[in-house]
Amino acid sequence: LTHKSGTTDSGNELSLYKVDLSNGKTTDSASVAYLNHGSELVMKDCAVTNCDATATGGAFYMYKATADISKTTFTNCDATGSGKSAGVAYVEGSDTTFTMTGCTITNCTSKNYGGAFFVNTNGRVELSSTTINGCSTTSRAGAVYIKAGTAILNGVTIDGCSTTGNSSRGGGIYNYQGT
């Protein structure tokens, strides 16, 4: 399935099971789903390949929403615009929780912060039994950047992630003011 970016607004639910999403592109945030204000996403046994957002959140942008993703692969997801962050998911706001279990993330990139994830303003990311491999950014956190939220990692493997550039820090994880 080749797709365009989707949006779920104000309390909507989106469930994806055994769906392959490829070549999603947007000139804004989130080439897979933009989730806000009570929206919910459930995703299981899916594959997301070659997603690209020129703004923040290569695959997902979340604000006051929830996502529960399991047994899904993310390959070559990018947030490529100047100063943009989070190759896979940008997670922001209280009541925002992104949960991922048994997933694999490979070669995802961002232009600025968090090759895979950016956690901001009381957002929460919970990763378990997940592998993040070969992700990168030009500034901070090749895998997970925690600016002002919470990241809980349990049984997570981060391998071969990197940062490049003059002020690069945290090849795997960079915690600025989060927990």
- pLDDT above 70: residue 2: no
- pLDDT above 80: residue 57: yes
- pLDDT above 60: residue 3: no
**Pick from 131, 144, 148: which is nearest to 171 by CA?**
144
- pLDDT above 80: residue 44: yes
Distance CA 147, CA 48 (A): 26
* pTM given for the model: 0.93
Place 42 in a pLDDT band, splitting at 50, 70 and 90: very high
More confident residue, 168 or 105: 105
Residues in contact with 127: Cβ distance below 8 Å, sequence separation at least 6, in sequence order:
99, 100, 101, 103, 144, 151, 152, 153, 154, 156
Q: What is the pLDDT of residues 81-101, one digit of tens each?
A: 877 899 999 999 999 999 999
